[in-house]
Amino acid sequence: MDNFRLYTPTEVIFGRDVENQTGETAKKYGNKALLVFGKGSVIKSGLLDRVEKSLSDAGVEYKEFGGAKPNPTVAHARDGVKDAISFGADLIIGIGGGSAIDTAKAIAHGVANPEYDIWDIWTKKVPLDKSIPVGAVLTIAAAGSEMSDSAVLTNEEVGKKAGINTDFNRCRFAIVNPALAMTLPKDQIAAGVTDIMMHTMERYFIPGKFCDMTDEIAEGLLRTVIKNGKSVVKDPENYEAMSEIFWASSLSHNNLTECGRGKDFSVHKLGHALSAKYDVTHGKSLSAVWGSWARELYKEAIPRFARYARNVWNVKESNDEKASLLGIEKTEEFFKSIGMPTSIRELGIEPAEKDLMALSLDATMQGTLKLSRIRPLDTTDVHRIYKNAMG
């Protein structure tokens, strides 16, 4: 087991109607809050009104900042920085899913560092030494941004999607009411379920590390998501199943399932290149390429893939390589069962050969970065994964 550091400082308020506690919780961290949300679902549902009433009752001033996109953009975050500074915000609250929360994180960093452009922070051209507090009111289980140290933005000007990891991305609090997701489209719920699984699997398939406790946590989390993921896609009003999905979402991306093993977000880099160029849903971009990625690499990590097949999917095959392949097949079958794509064509796009090469260069930062801790993947390897993922 490798040395590790686990830092999960987020105060989680979990359960029915907890959005009414936003004000008393937020008051611990600031007095003037910029509220970051998407295109209006939080308004239509009445959630924004409830949050704002709670803030007013607690004596916290607020200003609205809507318009967060499914793939959050640096341009929108820049506008948020201007609004937050003009308002004098000392707290940023993301209301929604990962898009709103990641936008809130970016705005917080921009407010604390007005002399820097956000994209320069994101691409590490300038240091991030300070930020202001961020809170979250979660409406979908997916990105896990409410407890993670990561945030992702898309720069539409250059067609790039990138993430940063920093302790400054840790939300000070997360208001988590699973009932808020019951009115979401099933397709969106399924994409969230997929993202949760990916966050766990991106940490799981790293060979050569003995981390039995961490593995047990990861495997239990995956079994829980598989069981309850089917339930919430079939019946979004199943509160108990939705609660399991929401809690798994937070735990899947707060670094708990990487303790002693680390992480390898190579599938995310493949998906980020796809979603940046074609604006496809994040979870769908991941399921579309995962099977091709797994078949490219499983032979270098057969014990890991075989354990996954047996402990997560209850595969009985005694031969490790055959078990590994069965585990990959069962994962893809699950994605299909909840309506997720398992090929690039199923995303409704048809990249030509030159487009696949462009995606490969984007994923590997123009050939300067090799992906994966199983076996280093160069641009040629990544191109083969994309090609095999076409279906």
* Below-50 pLDDT ranges, the chain: none
State the pLDDT at residue 138. 98
State the pLDDT at residue 175. 98
Domain ranges of the chain: 11-180, 186-388
State the pLDDT at residue 39. 85
| DSSP letters for 116-151 | S-HHHHHTTSS-------EEEEE--SSS-TTT-SEE
Using alpha carbons only, what angle is made at residue 83 by residues 80 and 85, rounded to the nearest 5 degrees?
Answer: 105
Threshold 0.75, pTM exceeds: yes
Instruction: State which fold the 11-180 domain adopts.
Output: Rossmann fold (3.40.50)
State the pLDDT at residue 219. 98
Q: Which residues pair with 35 in a beta bridge?
A: 64, 93
Give the strands of the sheet with 32-36, arranged side by side: 11-14, 173-176, 134-138, 91-96, 32-36, 61-65
Is the Cα dihedral 24, 31, 253, 228 positive or negative? positive
Instruction: For the chain, state the CA radius of gyration.
Output: 20
State the pLDDT at residue 78. 98
Distance CA 228, CA 242 (A): 7
Instruction: State which fold the 186-388 domain adopts.
Output: Dehydroquinate synthase-like, alpha domain (1.20.1090)
